Structure 1
C-alpha cells in the first residue's frame, strides 16, 4: 500500500513512512493510493466479531504486510486494554431508530482514545524497530491533547509537546493534560485560539531546523492518516450491531476538523452500506455553510460550550476535496491558495458531489443546552454538548425514519459540566472513578505567546539528547 499527497507534488510513501511523516512535504495530507474494498458477503461474515478482531480485519490491508499479522493484533489488543467497557464502543438507544455510539469509554473519556491509544503503541513499535527517537507535536481544541499524551506518555522514544488555546478548553480537558507529569510530556498553553495552535504545528513541520540533530517531528493530529484509519473501525462495528450490511445505517457526527466523519466517508467507499453522513456543527459553522450554501469563508472564531468544535480551518476537509476533484493535486493547490485569502468557492460540479455525500446542520449554545435537557428529561440519558449537537442534527436532517441513525458520542458529559448543569440543573456530573481525584492533582504547563520562535526555543530547551 502506497500513500500519496493531496497536493500531488510530494513523493509517495509506505505506511510506516506516512506514520512518521505526518504532513507531506508539499503541504498536503497523505491518503491511500487505493482503498481496500470489502464485499457485503465479507462484511456479513464479520457479525459477532469482537471489536479487536474486527479492527484487525479493517486495519490489516492499510499496513499491507509492513507489520506482521501477529504483531498487528498485539498492538490492537494492547490499545484497547484500558477501555472501561468490554464492548469498547457500546450502543445506547435514545429514540425510535436512534442510537448513541459511546466513544468515550477510553482512558481520557473521548473518541480520540480510539486512534491515539493505537497510534502511541504503533509509534513505539516502529521507533524501537528503527532505533529512532522523535518529537511528537500536536494541537488540540480539547480532547486530542489528553488522548495523545495518554497514548505516548509511556513511550521510550518520544518527547511529546501539545499546544492548547490558553483558557479556551474546559477545566477537565486542561487538567487531563496538565496533570500528567511524566518527564517526556510538555503542555503549552498558547495565547490564541485553536487555529493559531494548528497553524503553528503545520508551520513547524515545514521547518524543523529548531530540533536537535537526529530528531524529527511526528504528527498525532488527524493529519496523520493512521488516526483516520483506526476510526473507520467503529462505523463497521456499529453498523454490524444494527443489522448491517443487510440494511443501510446513517451516521451523525459532531464535526470540527473533519477527521471523524471522513473516516465514515472512507467506510462507505470501502463497501459499508451507509445511507446518510450528517455533519453536525456548532456556531463555528464553516462546514455547514460550505455544504448547504457553498460558503467556505473564514469568520471570527466564537468560544462555545462545545469547544472541541471551535475550529474554522478543518484540515481533513482537504482529503475529501481531493476525492471530489478527481484526485487532482493541482486543483487542490489552487483551492488552498484561494482559501488563504479567506474564502474557497467550489464549482457546481463539486458542490453536487459534496451534497450527494453529506447533509449538515448547526446549533448554537442555547439550542445545544435545550437538546441536552430534552433528552435527559425523556430518557435520563446525559449527553455532552458535542453529542447533543449530533443528536439534533440527525433529528433535523434524516430523510428516512425507517433507517437507523447512529449519533457519535464523542465525549463523556463530565468533561463539560458547565453545559450539562445549565441544561439539567443537576449537580456537576461525576467523573469516572479512575479520574475522581483529577481536581486535586498537581498541574504543570507553560503559557507562551503566539510566537513561533518563542515556542521553538522552549521546545528545543526541553528535548533531551
Structure 2
C-alpha cells in the first residue's frame, strides 16, 4: 500500500505508511491518501465477524489495518493493536459496544470509554504505539505539533506522555474549552508535554500548525509530526470502529446500516466515507454540525465557505466549533477522482477568497447519490432538549456533541428503514453544565477523574504568531531531546 498527497499530480512519487506516519502533512500542503482504497468483499467481512468474536476488537483492528500497512510485520502490528486496545484502558471488554436507544431505529456506538472519555482515544492509543514502534526502529525522535478544539489534545497527551522519543506541543484556543477539558490537559506535568493557549479560535490554532509545517527546513530540523486528523494514521484507526459497529449490528452479508456522525473537522465521518468506499454496507452517512454549519451548508448548496474567527461561534458543543474542516480535502480529492490540479485550484480559491462553489458540477450530484452523504445541523436548544428527553424517556445520558448527532439522525430516521448508529463523541462528564441544564443534575463522574478540576494548571500563552510558535517548538524539542 502506497500513499500520495491529495494535491499530487498523476504519476507523483508515493510513500510508505511509516514514512507518512511520521511526516503528517504532505510537503505540498495536501493530505495523504492511499493510491487506491482496498476492496472488502462479503467473504472478508464474514471472516472478520469470526475474528471479532474470537479475538475481540484488537484482533479486528489488526486485520483491518493490515490492508493499509504493509511495512510493519503482521505479528508486530497485532502486538501493537493488543497494547492499544485493552479492556483496562477502555473500561469494557468489547472496547466499542453498541446499544439501543429505546426501541426505535437509533443506536449508540460507544466510542468514549477510553482514558480521556472521548472518541479521539480510539485513534490516539494506536497512534502512540505506532509512533513508539517506528521511532524505535529508526532510533529517531519526534516533536508532535497539534491543535485541539477540546478532545484531541488530551487524548494525544495521555497516549504520548512519558514516551522518551516523543515531545508534544499542543495548541488550544484560549478560553474556548470546558473547565473539565482544560483540567485534563493543563493538569499534566510530564516534561515532554507543553500546552499552549493561543489568542484566537481553533481555526487560528490549526492555521499556525499548518504554517509551521509549511516551513520544510524548520520541520526537518525539529522533527515535526502530527496527531491531528491530518495524519492518515488517525483516520485508518477510525475505520476500524465502523467495521466493528457494522459487525455488531448485522447478522450476515449485504445488510445495510447508516451512521450519524457529529463532526466539525470532517475527520470522523471521513473514516466512514472510506469504509463505505471499501465496500462496507453503509447506506447513509448522516453528517451533523452545530451552529458552525460550514459542512452542512456545503452538502446542501455546493458552496464551501469558511468563516472568520469572528464568525466562528462559541457553542455548548465546543469541540465542533470549527469553520475550516481540514479533512474535507480528502473527500474533495475522492470526489474529483484524485485530480491533484483540481484540488489545488479549489483550495487556492479558499485561501484567496474564503470559498469555492461546485454547485453546478456533476460531482456535486454524486455526493448524495454515490457517496451517501446527507446532513443537518443543531442548536443549543436542540441539544439540551435531546439530552433531557433521552434521559427522561430511556435513562440514556449523552454529551452535547452526541446530542447533535441524535437530533440530526432523528430528522432522517423516518426516510429509511435501516438502523442508524449515532457515534458517541464523549462522556457527559466533560460537559457538566450543559448536562445540568438539560437534566437538572450533574452527570456522574468516573472514579478515575475524581478531583481533576482542582489540579494546578500549566500552560504557555502566545499570540497568533507563527514565529513565536516556532521559537517555543525549538525550545521544547531542544530541551526534551537534547537537540
TM range (shorter): over 0.9
**Per the alignment, in what secondary structure is the counterpart of residue 356 of structure 2?**
coil
Match of 2:356 among 344, 348, 351: 344
**What is the TM-score with the length of structure 2 in the denominator?**
0.93
**Per the alignment, in what secondary structure is the counterpart of residue 16 of structure 1?**
helix
Residue 458 of structure 1 deviates from its aligned partner by 2.0
Residue 415 of structure 1 deviates from its aligned partner by 0.5
Match of 1:263 among 260, 271, 275: 271
Aligned equivalent of 2:64: 58
- Runs of 4+ aligned residues of structure 1 deviating over 4 Å after TM superposition are 208-211
Aligned equivalent of 2:456: 442
Q: Distance in 1 between matches of 2:268 and 2:188?
A: 26
Aligned equivalent of 2:259: 251
Deviations 1:22-64 (CA, angstroms, capped at 9, x unpaired): 1111110000012111111220222241111111111011111
Alignment of 1:106-117 (within 5 A): 106-117=114-125
The two structures, once aligned, show a CA RMSD in angstroms of: 1.4
**Residue pair 1:239, 1:245 contacting (<8 A) in 2 also:** no
Deviations 1:131-154 (CA, angstroms, capped at 9, x unpaired): 111100000000000001011112
Match of 2:404 among 389, 396, 407: 389
**Per the alignment, in what secondary structure is the counterpart of residue 189 of structure 2?**
coil
Deviations 1:351-384 (CA, angstroms, capped at 9, x unpaired): 1011222000001111111111111111111110
Alignment of 1:18-57 (within 5 A): 18-48=20-50, 49=52, 50-57=56-63
**Per the alignment, in what secondary structure is the counterpart of residue 423 of structure 2?**
strand
Aligned equivalent of 2:73: 68
**Per the alignment, in what secondary structure is the counterpart of residue 327 of structure 1?**
coil
**What is the TM-score with the length of structure 1 in the denominator?**
0.97
**Residue pair 2:6, 2:32 contacting (<8 A) in 1 also:** yes
**Residue pair 1:210, 1:457 contacting (<8 A) in 2 also:** no
Aligned equivalent of 1:16: 18
Residue 460 of structure 1 deviates from its aligned partner by 1.7
Residue 400 of structure 1 deviates from its aligned partner by 4.4
Aligned equivalent of 1:6: 6
Match of 2:313 among 287, 290, 302: 302
Alignment of 1:112-127 (within 5 A): 112-127=120-135
CA distance 1:150–1:208, change in 2 (3 Å): farther
Match of 1:328 among 336, 339, 345: 339
Aligned equivalent of 1:355: 368
Residue 214 of structure 1 deviates from its aligned partner by 4.8
> Mean Cα displacement is larger for which, 275-284 or 245-254?
245-254
**Residue pair 1:245, 1:272 contacting (<8 A) in 2 also:** no
Q: Distance in 1 between matches of 2:456 and 2:92?
A: 28
Q: Which runs of 5+ in 2 are unaligned?
A: none
Q: Which runs of 5+ in 1 are unaligned?
A: none
Aligned equivalent of 2:99: 92
**Per the alignment, in what secondary structure is the counterpart of residue 416 of structure 1?**
helix
**Residue pair 1:115, 1:227 contacting (<8 A) in 2 also:** yes
How many residue pairs are counted as aligned between the two chains?
Answer: 462
Q: Distance in 2 between matches of 1:245 and 1:421?
A: 43
Residue 399 of structure 1 deviates from its aligned partner by 5.5
Q: Distance in 1 between matches of 2:338 and 2:402?
A: 32
Aligned equivalent of 1:197: 205
Residue 178 of structure 1 deviates from its aligned partner by 1.0
Aligned equivalent of 1:364: 379
Deviations 1:277-336 (CA, angstroms, capped at 9, x unpaired): 000000100000000122321231000000110000001110000011011000000100
Alignment of 1:432 with 2:438, yes or no, is no
